[in-house]
Structure 1
Amino acid sequence: SDTKSKRSCLCSIASTVSLLCVILLFTGSFSAELYNENQCRPGGSHALPEGIISNTSDLQMRPLWDLPKTKTIDNKEKASTNLFAMAVGIKQKDLVNKMVKKFLASNFVVMLFHYDNIVDEWNDFEWSTKVIHVSVANQSKWWFAKRFLHPDIVPDYDYVFLWDEDLGVENFHPDKYVSIIKSEGLEISQPALDTEKSEVHHQITARGRRSNVHRRIYKSGGRGKGCDGSSTAPPCTGWVEMMAPVFSRAAWRCVWYMIQGDRTKNVGVVDAEYIVHYGHPTLGGLDVNEVSSRAKDHRVDFSLRGNFYVKNLLFGLKYISNVVVELALILICVRRMSYRELQVFRKRWQKAVEEDECWVDPFQ
């Protein structure tokens, strides 16, 4: 009887264990499916049905008093497929006005970042209510772009133009430019600079008159400073200046996360469509022309004689010197801050490379 009871007990335990295994198997399978499903969902959306989740958005303005237009074929053709964004200050309103009018005429969505906190004075322009205004004092266009142009907010736009405000666009046509970079397969580009009127800092940005697009430059130089057909790094190839960059949808997603693609093939300067870079200071900085005009307000009447003449002359010189010193200090502070930010970025990059065991440098 003891043997029978032991066998009965063992059978009971075996049955219970088998049942538990089956339950755990199905539970584990269900949990894995649930985990995989949730893993693909945006954070915070796990409690929502999948069909109601919208991962992306856009910058199209919608009226408060009417239903949004349905996505018919006709409306899709009229919809804006490119975005033009720019950090602006009221001092450059004339240049900004010319750019905005040109891009709106080409059916771009236009977004203005006001770094001087002045917005109402732009209401003088008829287009003011047709563009998006974002105002935060003393911030650069990259600060605005990082916070207001997330790739999931601008996925509907084929190209993102992120420009400075001191550019002349008399010879620039947005539609033609987009057509060129599409046909050339450029992911990151910029219009070339008119060398006769522009402040050109790098040879690769200068306009070439014999081509529609150039991706590299050729120049002689000792100690490895020259550029030839075998050069693979900036500033010889794969490089644009940050005054007027244009990003494809895919490139902007990469750039926003600080990652690049193949710069030797997909980065170039468009010669056929070119602009003028005036080199005006931004973020409310003093302009040399402004300093000159202020100095004229304190000009000296050379017909005067004696102590009165000397006092006015000294006053004028003192004023001019104070303004020049102020301008120099501002420039020094901006450059110093840029250098510090570059050093911080390099440290962050090095740390990220060391900690990410899966990352492989595509250029090594």
Structure 2
Amino acid sequence: MNAQVHPLPGPRDSAGLSADALIRSGSAVISVEADAINALHSRIDAHFVAACRLMYACSGRVVCSGMGKSGHIARKIAATLASTGTPAFYVHPGEASHGDLGMITDADVVIALSNSGEADELLTILPVLRRQGNPVIAMTGRPDSTLARLADVHLDVTVPAEACPLGLAPTSSTTAALVMGDALAVALLEARGFTAEDFARSHPAGSLGRRLLLHIGDIMHSGADVPRVTAGASLSDALVEMSRKRLGMTAVVDADNRLLGVFTDGDLRRALDDHSFDLRGTAVESAMCSNPKTIGAEKLAVEAARLMESYKISALVVVDNEQRVVGALNIHDLLRARVV
């Protein structure tokens, strides 16, 4: 018997794939979800304040939990809290009933997400959490639900309508819950005085972490790798030092290693254009820049990038408070460090 082949399901009406129809659908979703978010303004109230205070006073961690799409939102809220100064993690409520409740200590605060407020998995673990003394913050779309009534604090994330035309797929409701979670995280961030540098410490591998944590001293050339010549050196000596150290410039220093000026590739080209200069007989101090831009080793690497960009230069000498040369770096060092 020949196997019967069934065609793959497809759109009933190809007109539904017209550009106008697709744009109308997409725009309608954004409008519906925007209305859902705007409806949250009135819910930033005493309940919101109570939730923030519970989380702020928490000596343990904030545990976020939810099933299905609410679980995905709970994971994101936990991640946002953790990266903005409020230690947090996610626990799957189904797994919690089979041993993972041991991850939650009596010092923790629990945020339970369920649009209906009737998720069996959450309601199953709720009595255990209450006996253990965990404050519970519920985030639901039904203030009269079981979860809302049993929680210490309820955050109402009711939406006027789902963006799904069938009213079935969680769309506006998950967006509203996510925004409420962001509101909690940012309110706590500001209450803790959390700074950009604090944020960078939990994101050391990201571009922001590098820009806010990497200092000049971490990437500069130092010691014998710093190009430098004394004021009495010739242009030829300076050229040899620049070629050897490969930074496109050399510092010019006095006998105490204090910076007198900088001689760069550009200065060399200008000297060569002036036929009165003799590479071997002319002292480098007559062609150097005597007022160069410098930076301290304690400064952030991103500040070196700003200086280079602002003054259209490609290298900097690093000096201490006494103007002694302690290092040097160029744009390639910043590129290697992925600061720019």
Q: TM-score range by the shorter chain?
A: under 0.3
Higher relative contact order (CA 8 A, sep 6+): 1
TM-score (norm 1): 0.22
TM-score (norm 2): 0.23
